[in-house]
Amino acid sequence: MNLEISALKYLDEIKNENFTVEEFISKTIEHIKKIDGNLHAFLSINEKAIQQAKEIDRKIKSKEKIGKCMGMPLSIKDNICVKDTKTTCASKMLEDFISPYDATVIKNLKSEDAIIIGKTNLDEFAMGLTTEFSAFGPSKNPWNTDYVPGGSSGGSAVSVSALECIASLGSDTGGSVRNPASFCSTVGFKPTYGLISRYGLISYSNSIEQIGPLTRTVEDTAFLLNIIAGQDPMDNTTIDNKGENYLKNLDAGIDGKKIGVISEMTKNVDKEVSSATKNAIVQFEKLGAKIEEISLDMIDYSVASYYTITATEAGSNLARYDNLRYGYDFDLEGYEFNSYISKARKNFGPEVTRRMILGGFVPSAGHAGKYFLKALKVKNKLTAEINEAFTKVDLLISPTVPILPFKFGEKIDDPVALFLIDFNTVTANLTGKPAISVPFEISNGLPIGIQIHANTLQDKLVLQAAHALEKTTNLPGVSI
């Protein structure tokens, strides 16, 4: 039994009775116990996983109706609520928070007999790009444990690439799924805004973020989308995808499609990343696509706009953590309210505190016009620009991250340098467009991903292009 297996392959093996769910889950847990002390992908493990596996095996044996996931182990970023499970956002602030309800995506997965194997590490409240801002210590990149795995869904990417699960759900606010996917050589997808319900995803910047899958193959992403995408009455911002089947015609290819290469996103990049991008363009041409260069002027302001908007929304979204109703152990008796609040909220880490201070300032009276409202203008203009671009081309591509994975501690003290790593990913969030990162090369043992965008609700087109590009590669798995 090999743990390096795609979701669809797993289903075949279970159907052919090559192994039982219990066997697979047991082996996965054994593997996690062996390696996760070092990699630290997980913040908690589902203690009932084997029991759940047995129950699914029983259902399979007695030919009862069985869900599409057939007991496949999935990991979940620890900012998505799973009932009766700690959901910490990798923050001391929520150290003891046990969610009393399931996020909609979790409900959907559970009803299809997926097994939530554990909750994965992230930068505190999803603010960061390396997992170094997790209050419980960073995750390590399995390709080279001296290197960061990317973030904020770093634990999810590590768990997929290090075979600790079949696939994972992360969240992507400015690249938080795609960035670690690129750094750890997995597929990472940020869907059209509103395609997947955010109910139960702990908000960081709610107007631009989405839950997204991290998987071994593009097919697996399509498989998961079929389960978790679509309108949800619990989230008013979800949109109707008309019951789209993302697996159907996934191999349609991209012959005749027009692809724009975003020039701003290919300018200031590492030379290995630049060369990989050129190779990808060659492959796309071979697949029959027509390539042209596209410039989006507003992209130069996108990171500034992104940080202004996310700080503003974070300042509001994280205000509820006052420890009155839930949180961590703290005796609130004897405090006057204002002094209580400042004391109770001291448990946020440095990056969250930094962004909340920014979030208190940029939308405040007297400053909003200079910062927050300008940031919204950039967002609107950028959206108009990309909409205009999509009248000329079908897809837009770029490297997912301008640079190669880097070592721990290399950039953590330089917030501005860290911010620029987001340069290629924030546009999809600000404009609500779908974007994917596909593993494309391994350069000196470090993964490089290629990013593909399409227009709103053209999620399937993104997957088709990614699937076509994926087939041109033959990348090794990580050796653990």
Total residues binding other proteins (CB under 8 A): 44
When the beta carbons of 63 and 325 are compared against other proteins, the nearer one is 325
Given candidates 200, 212, 432, 439, which one binds other proteins under the rule CB under 8 A? 200
Given candidates 80, 254, 262, 356, which one binds other proteins under the rule CB under 8 A? 80
Q: Are 138 and 79 in contact (CB under 8 A)?
A: no
Q: Is 100 in the site for other proteins (CB under 8 A)?
A: yes
Minimum Å gap between C-beta 73 and other proteins is 22
Q: Is 320 in the site for other proteins (CB under 8 A)?
A: yes
Given candidates 118, 363, 399, 447, which one binds other proteins under the rule CB under 8 A? 363
Q: Is 234 in the site for other proteins (CB under 8 A)?
A: yes
d(CA 114, CA 246): 19
Q: Is 203 in the site for other proteins (CB under 8 A)?
A: yes
Stretch that binds other proteins, among 154-162, 219-227, 312-320, 346-354 (CB under 8 A): 312-320
When the beta carbons of 228 and 412 are compared against other proteins, the nearer one is 228
Q: Is 101 in the site for other proteins (CB under 8 A)?
A: yes
Q: Is 97 in the site for other proteins (CB under 8 A)?
A: yes
Given candidates 132, 313, 394, 422, which one binds other proteins under the rule CB under 8 A? 313
Q: Is 206 in the site for other proteins (CB under 8 A)?
A: yes
d(CA 255, CA 286): 9
Q: Is 199 in the site for other proteins (CB under 8 A)?
A: yes
Look up residue 237 and give its two tokens.
């911002």
Q: Is 343 in the site for other proteins (CB under 8 A)?
A: no
Distance of CA 217 to the CA centre of its chain: 15
When the beta carbons of 319 and 475 are compared against other proteins, the nearer one is 319
Minimum Å gap between C-beta 229 and other proteins is 17
Residues with a catalytic annotation lie at 77, 152, 176
Q: Using CB under 8 A as the criterion, which residues of the chain lie in contact with other proteins when the complex forms?
A: 79-81, 87, 89, 94, 97, 99-101, 103, 198-203, 206-207, 233-237, 312-313, 315-316, 319-322, 324-326, 337-338, 341, 360, 363-365, 368, 372
